[in-house]
Chains A and B, each alone.
Chain A
Amino acid sequence: MNAARKLTYRDALREAMREAMQRDGRVFVMGEDVGRYGGTYAVTKGLLEEFGAERVRDTPLSELAFVGTGIGAALGGMRPIVEVMTVNFSLLALDQIVNNAATIRHMSGGQFSIPLVIRMTTGAGRQLAAQHSHSLEGWYAHVPGIKVLAPATVEDARGMLWPALEDPDPVLIFEHAQLFGVTAEVSEGAVVDIRHAKVAREGANVTLITYGGMLPKALQAAQELVADGIEAEVIDLRVLRPLDSESFLASVRKTRRAVVIDEGWRSGSLSAEISARIMEQAFFDLDAPVARVCSEEVPIPYPKHLEDAALPQVDKIVAAARALFGAAAQ
C-alpha cells in the first residue's frame, strides 16, 4: 500500500478539493469568501491561486442565490462544490436545498439528477453563541432526496469528497468546527465509501453510536470506561442519510446495550431515529433501555461554562454508559 502521511482535517479537505479539480474539469468551488479571503476556515486557501477565479468563485452574500446556482450548474452538467460558511447560514438557502435539490429528480420522473456537493461547517465549542453553533445536520437527514455525510476523521475528510462528487444526487457534507485542527495519518490513495458506518473501536459490552464532532469524545469515553471493566464499541455513523442501520444493529445485538451521542438537540433528533430503529429491530437483544447523550434543549449560550454544559461531554457519556450496567458497575 502507499505510504502514510500526517495531515490535518483542514488540509485533508483542501487536498480532496484540489485533487477533484485536477481530476475533473467540471468541478468548481463556489461560496462566500472561498477565494481572496482564503475560506472562512482556511479550507480553500490557495485554491484561487492554483485554479483561478473561474473555478474558485467568490459569491456575494446570497446563500439562497448561490446554492440555487449550484443546483442549476449541476443540472447543466457541472460538478459544483458549494461551500456554505456554517449550517446556521444554510437556513437562508433551505428553500433551494429542500424544495429543489431534494425534489427535482423525483418530480421530473427521474429525468434530471443533481450531482451537487454542498459543504458546510457545523457544531459548537468555540463560544460563538446561538447563531453560529448549532448542529442541524439531523434536520437535513430528515429529507429524502439528499444524502448527508459527516466526516469525523481525517481519512474521511480526505476521502469522502470524491465519491460524493461521483454520486449523481445532491450530497451535503458537514464538517465539525472542532475537527479542523485534528491531525492524523492517512494512507495515500485510501478509498472510502459513502454508504457504511464504521466500527471506530471494538468492544463487547456497550455500543456508543455517534458521528462527526462527537466521535473523539465517544472514543475518550470508551477509554475511560475501561477502568470500570467496560469495553465499549464505538460506531462512527459517517453517513447520516441514508442511515446504515445494519452496522449499529449488528453491534448492539452483540453488546446488548447502546448509548447514542448526538450534538443535536434530543427532541426530534437523529438520536431519536437511531434509538427508534434499535427498539424496532433489536428490542429483544437489549439488556437495558437505549440511552442518549444530546445537547440540552437551549440555544447554544455564549459563556464557556454554559456552552460546555449544553453539549455532550465525555463525563456525561461515561455516566450514561455506566448507568446501563445497574448499581453494580457504578
Chain B
Amino acid sequence: MSRGIASYGREFCLRLVRNMLRIRRMEERCAQLYGEGKIRGFLHLYIGEEAVATGVMANLRAEDAVVATYREHGHALLRGISMNAIMAEMFGKREGCSRGRGGSMHLFDAATRFYGGNAIVGGGLPIALGLALAHRLQSIRPVTACVFGEGAIAEGVFHESMNLAALWQLPVLFCCENNLYAMGTALARSESQTDLAKKASSYNMTSASVDGMDVLAVYETAKSASAYVRETGKPYFLELQTYRFRAHSMFDPELYRDKAEVEEWKKRGPIHNFTQQLKRAGLMSEEDFLAIDHEVLAEVEASVAFAEAGQWEPVEDLTRDVYTEAT
C-alpha cells in the first residue's frame, strides 16, 4: 500500500472491519443453521474471502448494478439487502429477498439492483453485458459489477462475454474472485494460462490483479477500476486473489487440498490481519473490535429470529410468478 493506513481515517477503517465481520458472523451462523436443518440445499460460504466483497462493494453507487454467483451472501449484504431478508431467504420464508423461492444461491433484490445469485457457472456474465448495454443505450452511466469465480474462465461463455464487452465497449467491471479452486479443481489443472490478467489483454481489455486478502488493497484497486469504467464507459477486468477457508459447499469432504495449505492461508485471514494493522496504527483498540463484534452478533441473532418468525408461502401460491400475468 502506497498510502498510509492512517490517512483513511478511523471511521472508514472501522466500517470495513464491521462489513467484513457482518459477512463472517452471518455465515458462521449459517453453517450452524445448516447443521440444524434450518437452511437446506447448497450453501456456499465466503469465509476467508470477505475483503474482496468489502473492498469492491464500497466503490459502488446506488445506481450501479451487481450480478453475482451462488457464493453471493456477502455481496448481497454489503449491497444493502438486509440481513433479515437474506436470512429469511435462506430459510425459504416468504419474507426472504426472493420470497423464499431462490434460497442461498439465488438472492435477488430490485431495490439495490442486485441481479442475482446465479448457480450456473458463468451464467451471470452475459446478463451483466446486457445490463451494461441497456445503460449505454439509455445514456446513463452506472457501472455493472459482475462477480464470478476463476472457474468460470474455463467456460466458453466467459470468452464470448469478454470479447463482446471489449468489442462493444460495455461498462462492466469484471470481478474475478480467484480462490484457486473450482470445487476440487485447482486453477493449474484447469487453465493453460494461469495468469488471468493475460486473458483480459488478449481481448484488449484493461486489467489489474490484486491481493484479495488485503481489504485496503482491494478497495484502492477497485476504486480506480470502477472509476475507469465509470469515466470511459469501457470494461475492466479485475482479478482478486483470495482463498476460501471452508469447503466448497456443505457436501465437500475437501480431498483435493492439504489442511496445511488451508492453515497457511488462514494466517493471511483478511479480518485478523486488518484488525492487527489497525491496532498497530492506533486506530482501533480491542474494546472497539469487541464492541463492533457484539453489535454484529446481535444483528445476526435478530436476523435468525426474523427468519424463524417468517411465514411459509402458502402452497396455493405455488405457481405464482411463473409469468408476469397469472395464467
Contacts and interface: CB of A to CB of B under 8 A. Distances in A.
Given A132-B119, A304-B40, A310-B318, A65 B184 contact: no
A92 B42 CA distance: 21
15 contacts: A38-B255, A61-B122, A64-B155, A88-B120, A92-B120, A92-B156, A128-B42, A129-B41, A129-B105, A298-B319, A298-B322, A299-B101, A303-B91, A306-B100, A309-B318
A321 to B, nearest CB: 22
A5 interface: no
Interface in B244-277: 252-253, 255-256
A65 B156 contact: yes
Interface stretch (B9-17, B185-193, B211-219): B185-193
Contacts of B313: 301, 303, 306
B115 to A, nearest CB: 14
Interface of A: 32-33, 36-38, 40, 58, 60-65, 88-89, 92, 126-132, 296-299, 301-306, 309-310
A298 B318 CA distance: 7
Q: How large is the interface on B (under 10, 10 to 19, 20 to 34, 35 or more residues)?
A: 35 or more
A310 B40 CA distance: 17
Contacts of B103: 127, 129, 302-303
A127 B40 contact: yes
A296 B102 contact: no
Nearest to A36: B256
Interface of B: 40-42, 91-93, 100-103, 105-106, 118-123, 151-152, 154-157, 182-185, 189-191, 252-253, 255-256, 312-313, 315, 318-319, 322
A297 B318 CA distance: 9
Contacts of A40: 183
Nearest to A132: B119
Nearest to B154: A60
A110 B269 CA distance: 60
B92 A37 contact: no
A182 to B, nearest CB: 18
A64 B182 CA distance: 17
A309 B184 CA distance: 34
A37 B185 contact: yes
Given A127-B40, A132-B42, A305 B106 contact: no
A62 B318 contact: no
Given A32-B185, A129-B119, A302 B92 contact: yes
Contacts of A63: 155
Nearest to B323: A297
Nearest to A308: B315
B100 A301 contact: yes
Given A61-B151, A302-B100, A303-B312, A128 B41 contact: yes
Contact of B318 (A60, A88, A301): A301
A61 B121 contact: yes
B185 A60 contact: yes
B322 A299 contact: yes
Contacts of B252: 37
A32 B154 CA distance: 11
A58 B191 CA distance: 12
B185 A92 contact: no
Given A61-B152, A305-B312, A296 B41 contact: no
Contacts of B151: 60-61
Contact of B100 (A33, A128, A297, A303): A303
A132 B102 CA distance: 11
Contacts of B183: 32-33, 37, 40
**10 tightest A-B CB contacts, nearest first:** A37-B184, A303-B92, A60-B154, A302-B103, A127-B41, A127-B40, A60-B190, A131-B119, A61-B154, A309-B315
Contacts of A126: 40-41
A62 B121 CA distance: 10
A133 B189 CA distance: 29
Given A92-B155, A129-B119, A61 B319 contact: no
B121 A37 contact: no
Contacts of A304: 40, 92
